[in-house]
């Protein structure tokens, strides 16, 4: 396999892994943000901390619950990357 192709494949895989790991956290923040916004619109309460604190807590809880899965995905990618590296540096 061509050296440039290996580098491109590893970079593409790194972006995919980053997206795969970030999406659950972003979705948790999005869902909580929408729910709080609907609650604020219904009650006419416009307090900034009312949106910030629940989103931070939702992302933190989601990160805590999914940390084992996220770490296994990242460790598996790292193993794959180091397995491919000798071919990249020493053809």
Q: Per-residue confidence of the chain (91 residues) as pLDDT tens digits?
A: 577 787 788 889 999 999 999 999 999 999 999 999 899 888 888 777 788 899 999 999 999 999 999 999 999 999 988 887 766 566 5
pLDDT at residue 90, as a whole number:
60
Q: Of 69, 63, 62, 58, whose CA–CA distance to 17 is shortest? A: 69
pLDDT at residue 91, as a whole number:
55
Phi-psi region of 45 (alpha: psi -120 to 50; beta: other; left: phi over 0): beta
Say which residue the tokens 């990249």 belong to: 88
User: Who's near 91: CB < 8 A, 6+ residues apart?
Assistant: 3
* pTM: predicted TM-score of the whole model, two decimal places: 0.79
């Amino acid at each position: 396999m061509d050296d440039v192709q290996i580098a491109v494949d590893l970079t593409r895989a790194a972006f995919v892994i980053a997206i795969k790991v970030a999406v659950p956290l972003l979705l948790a923040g999005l869902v909580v943000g929408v729910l709080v916004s609907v609650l604020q619109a219904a009650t006419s309460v416009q307090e900034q901390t009312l949106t910030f604190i629940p989103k931070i807590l939702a992302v933190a809880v989601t990160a805590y619950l999914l940390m084992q899965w996220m770490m296994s995905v990242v460790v598996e990618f790292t193993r794959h990357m180091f397995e491919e590296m000798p071919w990249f540096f020493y053809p």
